[in-house]
Structure 1
Amino acid sequence: MKIRYRSLDVFRGATVCLMILVNNPGSWAHIYGPLEHAPWHGLTPTDLVFPFFLFAVGNAMSFVIPRLQEAGPGVFWKKVIKRTLMIFGIGLFLNWYPFLRWNAGTLEGIPWTSGPEKGVRIFGVLQRIAVCYFFASIIAYYLKPRAAGLLSVILLLLYWALCIIGNPADPYSLAGWFGTEQVDKILLHTAHMYKGEGVPFDPEGIASTLPAIVQVVLGYFVGMYIRNSSAGIPAGMDRKAPSNPMFKMLTGLFVAGMALLLTGFCWDLVFPINKKIWTSSYTVYTTGLATVTIATMIYFIEIKGKTGFLGRFFEVFGKNPLFIFALSAFLPKTAALFKTTDGVTPWNWLYTRVLIHTPGAKENGSLLYAICVIIFMWAICYWLDKKKIYIKV
């Protein structure tokens, strides 16, 4: 019996919702700690958002890859290449957009490169999603599960080895990590790298994409396990019945999730959990958390039938995830073209004129603004869902 898991839509939607939340504070200078990334090693709730989304990409692949395998290599390559280029292209477009900027009261064009140290960033969140989707799709399509699992382990260990070999004296620091000097600067060039750390360093660069690919593959495995377990549920069976195969599936998910959590925690002792260089321990640990989260959602939503207000709220985000995430970046960039002399734009007007005066800590107004952005984006998603408009990227 074919089952559509609402819990997967809720999981994906919650992840997109949180991505928008952490990317749209009223002020970057006033953010509560859990809504910021860890300075370097370690983990905050914000550091779970991106790996959870890659995990969700793998979940979705598990329902698509079998159909592509039936359709043949021609259909597979056409779909995967097209989708990869679209997602990567949208990400690159948003990095460069709106192609104009204010300079001394005058709008000027943004050149691709404006010197050896300055230019348009090539990589980013959507670009990483595209690259990980591309390679994970190939692995899932051409390799049997055991071979794909073995390759995943090899890739995680290989990345660990590359970190150590690249700089044995200081392999996991911002300055010592091998990926910047030995990979990203060579292939991307300094002008096209992220510089938010104060130095050229790209947290979504080429080198650290290797273990992120495994994140998608692991999400694919979990999705396949859920899909295959559902095949054993007879039509019309009471999902709350003790004999329901879903209970056995949930046991498997919880055991696997806890095993991954323990493995990631132990690995952290020698290979620190770090989102910015996407360490192998980070991949394993966050996959464990995502697996436990998915299992919990399946229990409450699919078995208990308790979607709740939050479940319904997040579900609409899950129907148009990449579109709404891209829109949340597109709108403020567009609004920036119409700013006043004191820097107020149509996008930040609510915060700078109203919510900045919220009583209490300055973080309150900043968080309240981010929540308003979420509500605005939700309204768009809700309208699209009501109109049965699903924008496939």
Structure 2
Amino acid sequence: MAEGLGNHTHEATNKGGDNNNSANVITIDSKVDDNGDNSIIINVKEQRNVTFVERPEEKLEQPSIAIKQKSKRVATLDAFRGLTIVLMILVDDAGGSYPKIDHSPWNGCTLADFVMPFFLFIVGVAIALALKRVPKVSSAVKKIVLRTIKLLFWGILLQGGYSHAPDQLVYGVDMKHIRWFGILQRIALVYLVVALIEVFTAKSRPTNELKPGMFSVFSAYKWQWLGGFVAFVIYMTTTYGLYVPDWSFVFEEDDVLHRSSVKCGMRGHLGPACNAVGYVDRQVWGINHLYTQPVWTRLKACTFSSPALGPFREDAPSWCRAPFEPEGLLSSISAILSGTIGIHYGHVLIHIKGHGERLKQWVSMGLGLLILAIILHFTDAIPINKQLYSFSYMCFTTGAAGIVFSGFYLLIDVWGIKTPFLFLVWIGMNAMLVFVFAAQGIFAAFINGWYYGDSDNNLVNWIQKHIFNDVWNSERVGRLLYVIFAEITFWGVVSGILHKLGIYWKL
């Protein structure tokens, strides 16, 4: 993080002893660049015909010039972002072999369920740091809108059905079935809302250090919390108050189209079939534009292979074959709270200068959120559910994000233990690159395009089979090791090289 060094100028005159009576005037300007980092500009001008008069009774003191070096960035942000990307690759590509780390089929929380809230949390922290100074509101709004559009574009391109990477060497999507919402689209929505509130309330927030205290930052940024509260009210009233009628859908089985119906006619239901989250998406996007492989197909009610994928039971309810959008509109409104809490952590980082006070505020909030979530879940008041982005799920995962962030900050930025985390820092500094080429399989698809004889006879499959599966005599273990070494480690090295070259592509 760049600690503020105000714009100012020092001037020093170097006495000239030459015959031309010349002197050098050294001008030192300090300014803050677009990234919030301080830079020093030193200008040397030669002035002619300058006469120096030195009184015998006093010495002219040579002025001392203090040059403040460029402030260090908070490495914890990049390390945390890198950890999130690594978790995403691990659970997406190895989750099929290890269902315990894959998304929970419905209620509960697994390793994969932490990925989205971790993304939104660190987006919030980054917004606070990026917008701690807003010189011009219109310019800031323009940048926010443009970045939101970019995220929406990449989200639709990568997850809307256009890309079939890495397994199929084809592209294209039927616009009747394009998926409008996904991971990047949810990040875009949260980023847009949280960042715009931050920009439009720039004049009302403090510009200097706040006094230590648990509620000083809360009161200073009341508009952000008001925005989070509005999102909470909209989500809760809609989830528990919206009437969900009966509905039907069409699915394909054995190359034959079937129509099935789901009986609902209720309010406040939190099960797979009749929840308000799914109903809002069916009404807004249309049922043909939802995700067709929801995780609830791994429930015991749907398959005997639970929690792994398997054939449907003969007595499986009709909704087992229905589509559902895990990154839907109503659940994304709830996700705004994760970004709000993340930006609070960023505000603490800006206005509270002591490491101990920062950690005190961060850890206490993280623990409070975890405790609240556990109480809500185990009393069956509000179960932890990623698909619905329930309030307890938001508290549990965002609280965990706060604890992990605090631990990283203590180790990396306070104690200075940076070397073990360089791998994560490099990936975090090129998060968008790794997301697109690794997590979304674009690079693997490119490699798969160079095959011999048959499309399955490609380098990626050969490496996985002969270097990992055959050596360990286990497809399951081989898959895990392939993900760790051929994907995560590989992209960590690539990110490190790009870091040395000064190339960064973030989310």
Give the TM-score of the pair, scaled to structure 2. Answer: 0.67
Aligned residue for 2:132, secondary structure, equals helix
Matched, 1:204 2:327: yes
Partner of 1:388: 502
Match of 2:85 among 2, 5, 16: 16
SS at 1:343 equivalent: strand
Q: Corresponding residue for 2:273?
A: 175
Within 5 Å, which residues of 2 pair with 1:43-192? 43-67=109-133, 69=134, 71-95=135-159, 96-98=161-163, 110-113=172-175, 119-143=177-201, 145-166=221-242, 167=244, 168=266, 171-181=269-279, 183-192=280-289
Of the three residues 434, 439, 447, the one matched with 1:324 is 434
Distance 1:215 1:102 in 2: 33
Does the residue aligned with 1:175 lie in a helix, a strand or coil? Answer: coil
| Cα distance in 2 for residues equivalent to 1:221 and 1:109 | 41
Q: Is the 8 A contact 1:55 1:216 kept in 2?
A: yes
> Cα RMSD (Å) of the superposition?
2.5
SS at the partner of 1:347? helix
Amino acid at match of 1:31: Y
- Evaluate the alpha carbon distance shift between residue 38 and residue 111 of structure 1 in structure 2; reply closer, same or farther with a 3 A threshold: closer
Distance 1:33 1:299, change over 3 A: same
Higher RCO, 1 or 2 (CA under 8 Å, sep at least 6)? 1
CA contact (8 A) 1:101 1:110 kept: no
Contact 2:268 2:276 in 1 (8 A): no
Deviation digits for residues 155-178 of structure 1 (CA, Å, limit 9, x no counterpart): 224312211123555621111111
CA shift for structure 1 position 363: 2.4
Q: 1:292 Cα deviation (Å)? A: 1.2
CA deviation after TM superposition for structure 1 residue 308, in Å: 3.8
AA matched with 1:355? F
Per-residue deviation, 1:255: 1.0
Q: Secondary structure at the match of 2:352?
A: helix
- Give 1:338 shift: 5.2
Which deviates the most, 93-102 or 185-194? 93-102
In the TM superposition, residue 304 of structure 1 has moved relative to its aligned partner by: 1.3
Deviation by residue 1:106-136 (Cα, 9 ceiling, x = unmatched):
x8763433x6xxx222221111111111111
Q: What letter matches 1:251 in structure 2?
A: K
Cα distance change on mapping 1:97 and 1:332 into 2, 3 Å: farther
Q: Deviations over 1:128-147 (max 9, x none)?
A: 11111111111222346113
1-structure distance, mates of 2:229, 2:283: 27
Percentage of pairs with the same residue: 27
Note the 1:230-309 alignment, pairs <5 A.
Answer: 230=353, 245-268=354-377, 269-309=380-420
The AA in structure 1 aligned to 2:285 is L
The 5 A counterparts of 1:24-35 are 24-25=93-94, 29-31=96-98, 33-34=100-101
Larger strand percent: 2
CA contact (8 A) 1:140 1:217 kept: no
In structure 2, distance between residues paired with 1:334 and 1:184: 34
Q: Is contact 1:13-1:318 (8 Å) kept?
A: yes
Q: In the superposition, relative to structure 1, how do residues 308 and 225 fare at CA in structure 2: closer, same or farther (>3 Å)?
A: same
Aligned partner of 2:426: which letter?
Answer: V
> Contact 1:101/1:109 (CA < 8 Å) preserved in 2?
no
Q: Pick the aligned partner of 1:343 from 456, 460, 481.
A: 456
Counterpart-to-counterpart distance in 1, 2:396 and 2:325: 22
The structure 2 residue matched to 1:356, chosen from 448, 451, 469, is: 469
CA contact (8 A) 2:428 2:506 kept: no
Query: So what's the TM-score if we normalise by structure 1?
Result: 0.85
Identify if the C-alpha distance between structure 1 residues 383 and 284 changes in structure 2 by more than 3 Å, giving closer, same or farther: same
2:343 is equivalent to residue 220 of structure 1: yes
What residue identity is the alignment partner of 2:193? F
Verify the 8 A CA contact 1:54 1:219 in the aligned structure 2.
Answer: yes
For residue 488 of structure 2, what is the aligned residue in structure 1? 374
Residues 98 and 210 of structure 1, relative CA distance in 2, 3 Å threshold: closer
Distance 1:20 1:343 in 2: 22
Aligned residue for 2:472, secondary structure, equals: coil
| Superposition deviation, residue 97 in structure 1 | 3.9
Structure 1 position 76, deviation (Å): 1.4
Question: Residue 265 of structure 1 contacts residue 285 of structure 1 at CA under 8 Å; is this kept in 2?
Answer: yes
> Contact 1:157/1:280 (CA < 8 Å) preserved in 2?
no
Higher mean C-alpha deviation, range 340-349 or range 198-207? 340-349
- CA deviation string 1:247-285 (max 9, x = no partner): 121111111111111122223231111111111111122
Q: Secondary structure in 1 aligned to 2:270?
A: coil
**Which whole-Å CA distance do the structure 2 matches of 1:98 and 1:289 have between them?**
33
Change in CA separation of 1:334 and 1:229 when aligned onto 2, cut-off 3 Å: same
User: Do the aligned residues in 2 keep the contact of 1:120 with 1:192 (CA within 8 Å)?
Assistant: yes
Higher helix share: 1
SS at match of 1:273: coil
Indicate the structure (1 or 2) with the bigger Cα radius of gyration: 2
The CA deviation at 1:150 is 2.9
Contact 1:10 1:314 in 2 (8 A): yes
CA distance in 1, matches of 2:343, 2:157: 28
Partner of 2:108: 42
| Cα 1:101/1:297, change in 2 over 3 Å | closer
Structure 1 stretch displaced more, 140-149 or 256-265: 140-149
